[in-house]
Structure 1
Amino acid sequence: MAVTILHFNESMFETIVAIRYRLNLPTMPEMMNRYFRMYDTTKDLIKAFKNSKQVQKKFAALRAIKRGLQATDDRITLKSHK
């Protein structure tokens, strides 16, 4: 089963560019159909994207920010209960 894109937004384009960069593939729009034929399912496409180093770094940074915000929130909560 091939992946069919019905709605193509900017975020999806950035995803494709990121995956193409990771796989050293061209990012030209006319190459998009060939790109999608490389993957049998959307699951494979998402897996390739999630495994890219750039995405892993961004997720790690977001997790660190989230932990920092939670720690700050916990400190504020502790101070307000004193």
Structure 2
Amino acid sequence: MGSLGQEIAELWGEHLGREVGVEDDFFTIGGNSLSGIKIIEQVTEQYGVTLSVRDFYLAQTPARVAELIEQGRTGA
């Protein structure tokens, strides 16, 4: 079973058309505002957690986005 961070890395990879590691920086690997919005929408659909664009960009890596999803799930 993969970790949530790995699931998010794979989701990013689908949108960015490349392999993504859990510690890869979104903008360094070619992310932009359009792909960011699409990823945020898919996170909402798949995980039931709505991330703000600001939080998503500040998180920068799949591992940190996974932490935000976990916080959102627990209501923290």
Relative to the length of structure 2, the TM-score reads 0.35
Q: Tell me which protein shows more helix as a share of its residues.
A: 1
Return the index of the structure with the highest Cα Rg.
1
Relative to the length of structure 1, the TM-score reads 0.33
